[in-house]
Structure 1
Amino acid sequence: MVISHGRFWRDQSGASMVEAAIAMPMLLTLLLGFVDFGYAFYQWNAGNKAVQAGARLAQISTPVAIGLPSETITQSDVTKVGTAVPAGTYDYVCTASAAGVACCSVGGGLCKPANASQASFDAIYDGTPNRAGMHTFLPMLVKSEVQIEYAASGLGYWTRPGGPVPTITVSIQNHPFQFFFLAGFLGFGTITMPSMLSTATGEDMKSTFP
């Protein structure tokens, strides 16, 4: 049987299968991309909830920075007693090592475990019997990604009985996100999510956890 060239080019048999074979990988990649980016958005939202919870816990519980409660309590210059504490008077930045050991730097100095309360850091990370911690909201969070800063921003006054009134900033730094489907299809690697942070004004210094 001889088929003319014109009839061969007009023949539509199997065209749908060819079209499906071409379109299916693109549609599948698009669908799985939505899943991956949806999960990334979920982690971003969970991270923001985690820093909000961490800031609230840091606000109402024992400070991680051991030296913070004594800041502004004493003042040798009696003319300053009761006057506002200038911004920048103190600045404590507390983080943790890869092993989860907490440390705090004072005024930009070295981060030292001796300056930090491990129990306070763990309470913010893990939570307390009455409050969920950062790890509860973002299970993939590790301690070394958490940063807690207590800084003077012009609030409070010298020799205030309740202690200093710091501005507390809790942030998540360098949190990785690993693509699952797109890593296999398109070779997407691990990305570092943008920093997430939440700021709160400190309340009276506590000696217990809520």
Structure 2
Amino acid sequence: MRQPNDFRKDEGGAAMVEMTIALTLLLTLTLGFVDFGYAFYQWNAANKAVQVGARTAAVSSPVSTSLASAANTADSALAGTAMGSGSFPTYSCTGAGGCARFSQANFDTIYNRMVPFFPRLQPANVRITYTATGLGYWGRPGGPVPTVTVSLEGLTFQFFFLSGLLGLNNITMPSMLSTVTGEDLKSTWP
């Protein structure tokens, strides 16, 4: 039988304990790089979705059908003169509506162009805003020329490994937006 002093001097399992500690730290670090790389991918995909949404909104029919009549005027002296900044109210719509005379079909046209770039996107995350910035003229047949802003709100980064290891579940993605000057606001997209 071995003496108790012999156990204190024995280093037979030290390498395995050191390897376990080092491997745990190395594995956590590696999985962290993978997760944050994926978060960066999500950020870029959401930004691209916003850019595509803004471009689509600039050339398609407005989500708020009230915008088409915003340049109408009963004052014949005003007809043909430039519209000033703030000459019509700002129309801000989400997938749930929230704006005057909301057109779900027009919203879906924009939303469906965005989803292939960021599949986790939900209609409630998308906000489309039309603002008067002094373009167009009173009495313009197609309505005013708005500045269109598409933004994403209420999204979170999705983590696979670190959510279980370190509890990184709900890190909110910063709100992102893209602004484009409206064009003819055609009724169909090619």
**Partner SS state of residue 62, structure 2:** coil
Unaligned runs of 5+ in 2: none
1:13 Cα deviation from its structure 2 partner: 4.5
Q: Counterpart of 2:155 in structure 1: which amino acid?
A: H
TM-score w.r.t. length of structure 2: 0.89
Q: Tell me which residue corresponds to 2:76.
A: 78
Counterpart CA distance in 1 for 2:12 and 2:35 is 37
1:122 aligns with 2:108: yes
Q: Deviations over 1:43-79 (max 9, x none)?
A: 110000001111111111111111111111x223333
1:3 Cα deviation from its structure 2 partner: 9.7
TM-score w.r.t. length of structure 1: 0.81
Q: Tell me which residue corresponds to 2:162.
A: 182
Counterpart CA distance in 1 for 2:64 and 2:5 is 87
Counterpart CA distance in 2 for 1:16 and 1:84 is 80
RMSD of aligned Cα (Å):
2.1
Query: How many residues are treated as equivalent by the alignment?
Result: 187
Q: Tell me which residue corresponds to 2:95.
A: 96
1:172 aligns with 2:170: no
Q: Tell me which residue corresponds to 1:30.
A: 29
**Partner SS state of residue 157, structure 2:** strand
1:193 aligns with 2:173: yes
Q: Counterpart of 1:149 in structure 2: which amino acid?
A: T
* Runs ≥4 residues deviating over 3 A: 1-5, 11-15
Counterpart CA distance in 2 for 1:48 and 1:16 is 48
Counterpart CA distance in 1 for 2:98 and 2:156 is 23
Of 153, 161, 179, 2:141 maps to 161
Q: Counterpart of 2:99 in structure 1: which amino acid?
A: S
CA contact under 8 A between 1:69 and 1:205: conserved in structure 2? no
Q: Deviations over 1:161-180 (max 9, x none)?
A: 34211000001100122322
Unaligned runs of 5+ in 1: 98-102, 107-114, 127-132
Q: Tell me which residue corresponds to 1:112.
A: none
Counterpart CA distance in 1 for 2:5 and 2:161 is 46
Percent of aligned pairs sharing the same letter? 57
**Partner SS state of residue 31, structure 2:** helix
More strand by share: 1
Return 50-59 or 177-186, whichever deviates more. Answer: 177-186
